[in-house]
Structure 1
Amino acid sequence: MTALTLAVAQSISIAGDVPANIQRHLAFMRAAAGHGVQLLVFPELSLTGYEPSLAGELAIAPADALLTPLREMARALRLTAVVGMPIRLTPGAGVLIAALVLGADGSLAVYTKQHLHPGEEVAFVAGQGGVALEWGDDRIALAVCADFSHASHPRQAAQAGATVYAAGVLISEGGYATDSALLQGYAAEHGLVVLMANHGGPSGGWACAGRSAIWAADGHLLAAAPGVGDALVIAHRDSGRWTGRSVALCAEEVR
């Protein structure tokens, strides 16, 4: 197996302030590149915060020029970033919760959340998912939050040949034990490396739990953030062996 370095960005989003959040994402990308990260996954709706009431006015087309600084940084750093954003595929269409894949080669791919959380239908429409990322001998399947609460979602990813399951999420303190156990179980059941990128601070009225994590394909924990706050959780594979670590980022690093 080729060497591979994956990471989740446990970021804190400023509600509705996309320009400020873009700057924070750029800082995370630079920090991740300094650790050799090749693929960096951000939380659900990371560029706006989890703000359903603002999603309609903030939604963009996937190729909107607003994302140009992020796409240029991805190319410059040779790093692929998966960022969270509300989108509309056509003017006037319903708002989708998207994970936008900003490729190190300049490419753009779109994953849209398939399974809405109860109540989200007021602001969003269900999406159609997206194809797995081809990464050498690996296939990286994406998920957004409630997608993984449906056991069929990771199962279908594994059946389609995925080796990695990467989820951008918003998980509160009250839901963390159940949701992290689900993701750990999927790792062991399906032989998937599982990434969970959670918000590092409050968003949309939720007290997010932080504790973003990566599990190995046998279900054991490779690394996790110890709590809330800005952090990178990194997993590295070399000669078929995975190791992990968590790196806290100080305020100056993410400005």
Structure 2
Amino acid sequence: MTAFTVAAAQSISIAGDVRANIQRHLACMRAAAAEGVQLLVFPELSLTGYEPALAAALAIAPEDRVLAPLREMAQELRLTAVVGMPIRLAPEAGVFIAALVLGADGSLAVYTKQHLHDGEEAAFVPGQGGAALEFEGEQVALAVCADFSHASHPLAAAQAGATVYAAGVLISEGGYATDSALLRGYAAEHALLVLMANHGGPSGGWACAGRSAIWGTDGGLLAAVPGLGEALLIARRDGERWASEVVAL
């Protein structure tokens, strides 16, 4: 089995400043590529911050040129990046919370958050999910935050053949214990490698917890960022074994 390396980017977003956040994403991507990462997952709404009140004004079409620097960097580095952004699929359509998959081969795929958190319906509409990603013998299912609070979501991913469950999230200090227990449980129940990429600083009025984490297929914690701040959380598979490490940014 070929080696595979996946990482969570625990990043800090500047509220509403897409261009500044893109520059920070580019730096994270370069750092990840230097570590041999093939798939890099950012937190929920990483390019805007978790800012529901700004989402309608900031929403873009997935193919918008504003993403060109990220798409070009993904190709240059041969790295697939999953970034968080509010999108519209038509000019008058509602706003989705999206995870945009910027492929190492220049491709673009869209995952839209299926399950909204209480209150998000004021700014967003529910999405339809998206296809799993294929990497070196692994099938990676994506999730965005509240998606994983519904046990049916990781169950459907596992039943469809997923071996990795990668969630871009915003988890606060108050919700961390409950949410991390859910993710740990899914890893053990479905024999999934579970990766969680959280914000490394405050966003949208929430005191985010940081502590992005990776759990092994037995539910054991492989590694976690120790607190807030920006970092890469990397999981490497060589053969049948996973090893993890935290790299400060």
TM-score by length of 2: 0.99
Secondary structure of the 1:127 match is coil
Aligned match of 1:87: 87
Aligned match of 2:194: 194
Aligned match of 2:155: 155
Question: Structure 1: which 5+ residue stretches go unaligned?
Answer: 250-255
Q: What are the residue-to-residue correspondences of 1:220-235 with 2, within 5 Å?
A: 220-235=220-235
Aligned match of 1:30: 30
Counterparts of 1:133 and 1:230, CA distance in 2: 25
Aligned match of 1:253: none
Counterparts of 1:33 and 1:240, CA distance in 2: 22
Aligned match of 1:111: 111
TM-score by length of 1: 0.97
Counterparts of 1:5 and 1:73, CA distance in 2: 18
| Runs of 4+ residues deviating >3 angstroms | none
Counterparts of 2:152 and 2:29, CA distance in 1: 32
Aligned match of 1:50: 50
Aligned match of 2:211: 211
Aligned length: 249
CA drift of 1:248 comes to 1.3
CA drift of 1:192 comes to 0.4
Aligned match of 1:8: 8
Aligned match of 2:21: 21
Check the 8 A contact 2:171/2:209 in 1, yes or no: yes
Counterparts of 2:166 and 2:20, CA distance in 1: 25
Q: Which stretch shifts more, 213-222 or 196-205? A: 213-222
CA drift of 1:208 comes to 0.1
Question: Structure 2: which 5+ residue stretches go unaligned?
Answer: none
Counterparts of 1:166 and 1:247, CA distance in 2: 18
| CA offset digits 1:68-92 (Å, max 9, x no partner) | 0000000000000000000000101
Check the 8 A contact 2:211/2:227 in 1, yes or no: yes
Counterparts of 1:97 and 1:179, CA distance in 2: 19
| CA offset digits 1:111-147 (Å, max 9, x no partner) | 0000000000000000000010122321100000000
Check the 8 A contact 2:74/2:104 in 1, yes or no: yes
**Structure 1 vs Structure 2 CA RMSD:** 0.5
Q: What are the residue-to-residue correspondences of 1:148-187 with 2, within 5 Å?
A: 148-187=148-187
| CA offset digits 1:136-185 (Å, max 9, x no partner) | 32110000000000000000000000000000000000000000010011
Check the 8 A contact 2:199/2:208 in 1, yes or no: yes
Secondary structure of the 1:194 match is strand
Counterparts of 2:241 and 2:110, CA distance in 1: 30
Identity %: 81
